Amino acid sequence: MCTNIVYEWLKTLQLPQYAESFVDNGYDDLEVCKQIGDPDLDAIGVAAPHHRRRIHEAVRRLKEADEAAAGLYFT
């Protein structure tokens, strides 16, 4: 398993066991990960409700960070 940004992101969420499945399903970049929904988590194999919640929360934070960064360009 090569180290990449998605692996590092999942590692910070304490969910590195899903890294290979994420990459195998095309989620090899955080920009793509921002689009993850419940059907995607089903396809990836994330079944545990608390793992799904952790990923959804992390995706929300990624999107919020983008919005905050976008605001910096217009100040």
The CATH number of the domain holding residue 23 is 1.10.150.50
The residue behind tokens 């905050």 is: 68
Q: What is the pLDDT of residues 29-63, one digit of tens each?
A: 999 999 999 999 999 999 999 999 999 999 999 99
State the pTM of this model: 0.85
Which residue range(s) make up the domain with 41?
5-72
Question: Within 13 A of 39's CA, how many CA atoms are on the CB side?
Answer: 1
How many domains is the chain partitioned into structurally?
A: 1
Asked whether the beta carbons of 27 and 40 are under 8 A apart, the reply is yes
Total Cβ atoms within 10 A of residue 46? 21
What's the rounded Cα separation, in Å, for the pair 48 and 70? 33
